Amino acid sequence: MSSAINPIVLDSSVLVGYERMKTPGSQALHETQSWVGEWLTDGVPLLVPGLSLAVASHECGGVLPELDFLIHGDPDQVIVVPLAHESAVAVGATSASLHGETLEIAHVTWCARGGEDDQTFRWRVATYWPDWYTAAGVPVIAL
Amino acid sequence: MADEALRIPLTDAERAELRLRAVREGRTVGGLIADLIRADQARHGAGTAGGGGGSLGPAVLARFGIDPDSPQHRAIAERARAHVQPAGSRSEPGAA
């Protein structure tokens, strides 16, 4: 691969919008796919936090054919970020509660910080619910 | 090449061993660590992520019947491209 580009983190709202092909709220068709397709074409690595994928799976009844196509399409560019030792500990410690939404926000935030302790380091989070991240201190791309 | 401080959690014994190795090779600890990381990344074939712009993007658009030249897609593509950042760029919290 040539020049490096900052990854963008996709939260569950984007994953569900992508899978259902309709934008949350406006119900506009294929908007999310256009966003994702353009980023992929531009070589942007897309990070899918594991907890965001779990939430999306729950929302979609465990059937995710379009996300499966996306994730299997290029594992170097669409990266599912697992909860492993250090990330699990960090997510548990920083989550405001044990509710799924807050746990997801903690995992998304951990991904956006690139696994670094440096509080000034942040990748952007694409989301349809930018208010989720008001207290998280991460830059959001409000779709 | 930008230098960044990286905190690496090592025990005192590990740190001492690293210093000794660096000195034995006539190198700095930072240079030694950088080479160790590069060698490991090369083994994993990781390299730097992004920038390739492979075939998945066009495949996604085709799968959903999205015409890349349509006004709707071009409008979104323009907004999406505005958020493409070179690696190492930093963003402030809040709406980007």
Up-side HSE of residue A94: CA atoms within 13 Å toward CB?
Answer: 19
Asked whether residue B3 carries a pLDDT value surpassing 70, the answer given is no
Phi and psi at residue A18, to the nearest 5°: -65, -45
Q: What is the pLDDT of residues B63-91, one digit of tens each?
A: 999 999 999 999 999 999 999 988 877 77
Residue type, A93: A
pLDDT at residue number B96: 76
B60, B66, B85: best to mutate for the A interface, most A CBs within 10 A: B60
Up-side HSE of residue A110: CA atoms within 13 Å toward CB?
Answer: 27
Q: What is the pLDDT of residues B22-35, one digit of tens each?
A: 888 888 888 889 88
pLDDT at residue number A3: 47
* Cα–Cα distance, B62 to B68 (Å, whole number): 9
| Mean pLDDT taken over chain A | 89
Residue B50 pLDDT class (50, 70, 90 cuts): low
pLDDT at residue number B42: 84
Return the percentage of chain A with pLDDT > 90, whole number.
65
Please state, in angstroms and as integers, the Cα–Cα distance from residue A62 to each residue in A31, A66, A68, A114, following that order. Answer: 22, 12, 11, 28
A117 touches chain B (CB under 8 A): yes
Specify the pairing of strand A124-127 against strand A8-10: parallel
Residue type, A59: E
| Closest CB to B60 among A8, A70, A140 | A70
Q: pTM for the complete prediction?
A: 0.82
The residues, ordered by sequence, that sit 6+ positions from A35 with a Cβ below 8 Å of its Cβ are A14, A126, A143, B76, B79, B80
Return the percentage of chain A with pLDDT > 70, whole number.
90
Q: What is the pLDDT of residues A72-119, one digit of tens each?
A: 999 889 999 998 888 899 899 999 898 888 999 999 999 998 876 666
Q: In angstroms, what separates the C-alpha of A124 from chain B's closest C-alpha? A: 7
